[in-house]
């Protein structure tokens, strides 16, 4: 018998399209350095690139992976060596609980950022990648 703690909380999906930008360490050096300087500014009211502007947390199709636990590493197909594409992210939280920069505008500001109730590891995200050359090649996962 499966324990209820392993089951997501039933909820309704309201897809929305958002624009994401690549993980900072994968950007060209000159742009990453400018972003680092901008993030180091003392103005706390201004958003930060990595946590507020570039990578949406939560459950998503497509987009970019957040390599916050390890250095970024290429996800390559074991069959043909092609760089794989991120197709699905399962996140432990639906938005950042501190500042809520990714909280949907229609969501109650006091709502928990953990609507689905799924915990990946100790609060991580699970990424699933696929080979763009063939659906017959096995997918690869990473947890960050």
State pLDDT tens for residues 45-82: 778 888 788 988 889 999 999 998 888 888 999 999 99
Task: Using a pLDDT cut of 70, give the percent of the chain over it.
Answer: 94
Q: Which long-range contacts (CB under 8 A, 24 or more apart) does 78-82 make?
A: 78/137, 78/138, 78/140, 79/131, 79/134, 79/137, 79/138, 80/131, 80/133, 80/134, 80/137, 82/131, 82/132, 82/133
When the pLDDT of each residue in the chain is averaged and rounded to a whole number, the result is 86
Say what the alpha-carbon torsion angle 106, 6, 52, 48 is, to the nearest 10 degrees: 150
> How does residue 88 score in pLDDT terms, banded at 50, 70 and 90?
very high
Q: Render pLDDT for 101-118 as a digit per residue (tens, 0 to 9).
A: 788 777 787 877 777 888
> How does residue 2 score in pLDDT terms, banded at 50, 70 and 90?
low
Measured at the CA of 40, the angle between CA 62 and CA 95, to 5 degrees, comes to 35
Report pLDDT for 118.
82
Report pLDDT for 11.
80
Report pLDDT for 98.
57
Q: Is 20 exposed, middle or buried (0-12, 13-18, 19+ CB in 10 A)?
A: middle
Q: How far is CA 60 from CA 14, 16, 41, 46, 64, in A?
A: 11, 10, 30, 25, 10
């Amino acid at each position: 018998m499966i324990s209820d703690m392993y089951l997501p909380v039933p909820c309704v999906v309201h897809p929305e399209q958002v624009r994401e930008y690549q993980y900072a360490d994968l950007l060209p050096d000159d742009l990453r350095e400018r972003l680092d300087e901008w993030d180091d500014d003392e103005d706390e009211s201004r958003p930060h690139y990595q946590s507020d502007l570039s990578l949406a947390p939560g459950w998503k199709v497509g987009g970019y992976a957040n390599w916050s636990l390890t250095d970024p590493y290429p996800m390559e197909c074991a069959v043909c060596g092609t760089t794989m594409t991120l197709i699905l992210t399962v996140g432990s939280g639906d938005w950042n609980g501190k500042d809520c920069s990714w909280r949907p505008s229609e969501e109650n500001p006091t709502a928990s950022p953990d609507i689905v109730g799924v915990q990946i590891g100790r609060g991580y995200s699970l990424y699933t990648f696929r080979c763009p050359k063939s659906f017959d090649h096995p997918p690869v996962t990473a947890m960050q």
